[in-house]
Amino acid sequence: MTAATDLVPQNPRPGLRQRFIRLIADPVFQARAARVPFLRSFVRSEGAAMFDLVAGFCHSQILLALVRLDIPRNLLEAPADTKSLAVQSSIPPDRMLVLLNAAASLGLLSSSGTMWRLTIRGAALAGVPGLQGMIAHHDVLYRDLSDPVAFFRGEVDTELAAFWPYIFGADGAIDPTVTATYSALMADSQRLVAADTIAAVDWRASRRVMDVGGGTGAFLTALGQARADLHLTLFDLPAVAPAAATRFATAGLTDRTAIRFGSFRDGTLPDGADTVTLIRVLYDHTDTTVLDLLTRARAALPRGGRLIVSEPMTGGPRPQRAGDAYFALYCMAMRTGRARSAAQIKALLQQAGFVQVRKMQSARPYVTTVMTACCGI
């Protein structure tokens, strides 16, 4: 009898593309190509790109050191010399110079003599809301990824899962300090997401918007400031209500806002809104929880009502760095949900009964992707 393995060619003839790939991997070819003018630039650019991948961990640690030492914020105030930055950071001047040169190589700083200043990229690092907070807590993710093979096999008891207990839907059982840490980071980083979401959607058909899982109200505050004609409702756990009420009051939105307590895992969502928003909510949860949430959202909306989903997404058949090489791993480390493609979210929306699902044009897909869906006419 012929074994099953005998039916599989042991040395299948490679196709043209595979032969080309093997040729590129040949050190002899690489050495020869580097001497050919037509191929030299290709070899160099690919080599530089590969080295950036190899050195990526060092680059991220340089970034973390800059943030922890508060160097971007200090240089935002005024340029400074190596010695003064070394004194402020309690780092020997020669070692500080290594850090500053490394930051310059990444396009974050520039120098004139011994004086250092921020570049445009460095200014963005100093000024973009939430960016430094995100970088500052990456040490947790780094430890989770220290053994990447074990991580991808699911053998790591990740620290990041304990960092965000709020997303499990606990009510009243969370350390207030943990809740405050989560809420502050989410609110700061929400500003860019809010700006891009608001710009991507035509709000003229909306009158009453309910943000489900909206934390301390950062998105609704931005929306309320952009649209004076909207009445806004925040639906989330009681633990975040005081901070949300304060945020609304500070922004002068108290008269146009309401806060409803509850978890979307339990019972029905409040009705009365013609638009429901889910801003960076779905990727925190499993498909089962997401489908249940979407079904509850559809039940809470009137006929013709609209759902808006905004969060980082993967590229599906065309992987993207932000979604597939960052958020997908981050979600995996959180162990509660996963980053999805627009097509996967569309399928869940349709399964929940939504129609006219559309992916909107997003200004910065690496920040967020926006989708809308309708309850029917």
* Model confidence pLDDT, tens digit, residues 125-157: 998 877 888 888 888 899 999 999 999 999 999
Q: What CATH number does the domain located at 143-374 have?
A: 3.40.50.150
Residue span(s) of the chain under CATH 1.10.10.10 come to 56-127
Over residues 1-17, the mean pLDDT reads: 54
Over residues 77-101, the mean pLDDT reads: 97
Over residues 224-248, the mean pLDDT reads: 93
CA separation for the pair 93, 91 (Å, rounded): 6
CA separation for the pair 4, 9 (Å, rounded): 11
Over residues 97-106, the mean pLDDT reads: 97
pLDDT at 363: 87
pLDDT reading at 301 higher than 60: yes
What is the rounded end-to-end Cα distance, in angstroms, of the chain? 63
Over residues 215-242, the mean pLDDT reads: 93
Q: What CATH number does the domain located at 56-127 have?
A: 1.10.10.10
Residue span(s) of the chain under CATH 3.40.50.150 come to 143-374
pLDDT reading at 172 higher than 80: no
The continuous run of DSSP H or E covering 306 comes out as strand 306-311
pLDDT at 190: 79
H-only helix segments in the chain: 16-25, 27-33, 37-54, 56-68, 71-77, 82-89, 93-105, 120-127, 131-136, 138-144, 148-153, 159-163, 176-200, 218-226, 241-250, 287-300, 321-322, 328-334, 342-351
pLDDT at 312: 95
120 band by pLDDT with thresholds 50, 70 and 90: very high
* Residues 329-359 pLDDT 10s: 999 999 889 999 999 999 999 999 999 999 9
Longest dimension (CA), the chain: 82
Question: What is the reported pTM?
Answer: 0.84
**49: which 2 tokens?**
């790109």
179 band by pLDDT with thresholds 50, 70 and 90: low
> Which of 147-151, 173-177, 195-199, 283-287 shows the lowest mean pLDDT across its residues?
173-177
Of 157-166, 173-182, 307-316, give the range with the top mean pLDDT. 307-316
Summary mean pLDDT of the chain: 88
